[in-house]
Structure formats: structure tokens, C-alpha cells
Amino acid sequence: MRLPRLPDLLTTANLACGVASILLASQGQLTWACGLVFAAAVFDVFDGLAARAMGGGTPLGAQLDSLADMVSFGVAPAFLLFIQASTLSRNLFDPDTFAAFSTLPYLNQAPNWPIKAAAIVLTIASCWRLAKFNLDARQTSGFLGLNTPSNGLFWVSVVLVSLNVAVHPGPGHDILAGLVVSLLKSSTALLIACVGMAILMLSELPLPGLKFKHFRWQGNQVIYVIAGLGAVLVMLYGILAVPLILVVYVVSPLWGKVFPKEA
């Protein structure tokens, strides 16, 4: 039995964060649970960097990565969304004093079916997206459809905004945060939004991979613009910037056409 490679250990850390997020969420510690999903994303970035630094990934590493991503960015965000949307739509409990999951009336007053369906849709779409990515040789330098980690971070940030965690008072932040809370309170609107995100994940929309082959401007214009706008949005809005950055990323195929292709 060979010793695990560094990229595989980093992927395992990603998986551990996802599992821990689910466990903490089940105990009502939503802020920490959301933070662990972001920690999983950091490990997900570094396992890819480590694999490239060591001459490329392995078939085992590719399978581990998908399985870890399924837990950390598929199941965990859907579970967090399910709990918080149920809390807000039913107004059963105060998220700040959320007691142990097993002792709450939550178990006896299940949320209406659209919230359950929304969580299931996100989980299934994440699984299909990851399976398609493993088999699609076209997605080596970019993506076709929204990647699963981006979708997961979007919904985790939505939960954090609804908890009023790490939200900066940027221009119009009250309106933006209000829209997020309204989305989670309306189970029908939430289901429609989740179906839309699922379609986006399984679509053929070409999106940049956001991985540098070099650090010159030419050929990396879209990455630098997204990074620059993202930094500004984070300073202005904090965690509320994540959904806004996703919008910038999704529409990047449109404004990215203004830049000439790398020779």
C-alpha cells in the first residue's frame, strides 16, 4: 500500500470539512458550518495546485476530488439551505439560539415540500454535474456549465447573509440582503431559484476555468477582471459579495468577448 500523495491529503481535508459542516449544521451551528464549506473550497484549490506541481493528478485523485466535492459543495450547502429556509419560512426558531437538532419541534413541523424539493434538486444536479465533468474531455481549461463548488459557495453565502454574518454596509446592502432573506422565506421562489441553478450547472454555457497558465495580462484578462471586481465587491459588501461575483462570472462569456484571444 503506497502512502497518500499530498494532493490526496488535501482532498481528504476538503471532504472532512464537508462532513464536519453537515454535523455542525445538524446541531444548529450554521455560521461555523458555512465557514467549513469555505475552508473546503480552499483545500479544493490547493489540491489542484499541488497536483499540478507534482506533475499532474492521478485517476485516484480525480475520483477522490469528485466524491469530496459532492459532500462539501453538493450535500452540505443543500442541507444548510434546507435548515435556514425552513427556519425563516416557518419562523419556528431564532437562528442565534438554535438548539440541538433532535430536540427541536422542527422534526414534528416539517417545512413544506418546495424547500425539501429545492435541497434535493441541488444535490442531484451537483452529482450529475460532477459525473459529467469527469467524462467530458472538453472541460480541461474551462467549464461547460456552472461548476459545483461555485454553486455550493453561492448558497452558503446566501445562508450567511440571511444570518447577517460578515455583511458590510456597502451601497444598497439593505436592499440586497432583504432580497436574499425574501428568497429564503418564499419556498416557491427558492425552488424556482434552485431549479434555475441546477439548469445552469447542467448547461453547456462556456465559463472560464479561472486557472492561470501564466501571469501575463494577455490571455488572462477575464480572470484579472473578475478578481479585481471581486476584491472591490468583498471590501464593499463582505460575504454578500459572493452572489454578486457569481453573477459577474456567469455573464463573463458576454463581456469577455471584448478581449482579444491569446495568440
Of 40, 253, 240, the closest CA to residue 154 belongs to 240
As a whole number, mean pLDDT of residues 126-134 equals 89
Residue 141 binned pLDDT confidence (cut-offs 50, 70, 90): low
Give the domains, in start order, of the chain with CATH numbers: 6-93+108-258 (1.20.120)
In whole angstroms, what is the distance from residue 219 CA to residue 223 CA? Answer: 9
pLDDT given for residue 106 in this prediction: 46
> What pTM was estimated for this model as a whole?
0.85
**Mean of pLDDT over the chain:** 83
Lowest average pLDDT, out of 97-111, 139-153, 175-189, goes to 97-111
Question: What does the pLDDT look like over 34-57, one tens digit per residue?
Answer: 999 999 999 998 887 887 777 666
pLDDT given for residue 209 in this prediction: 74
In whole angstroms, what is the distance from residue 202 CA to residue 132 CA? Answer: 8
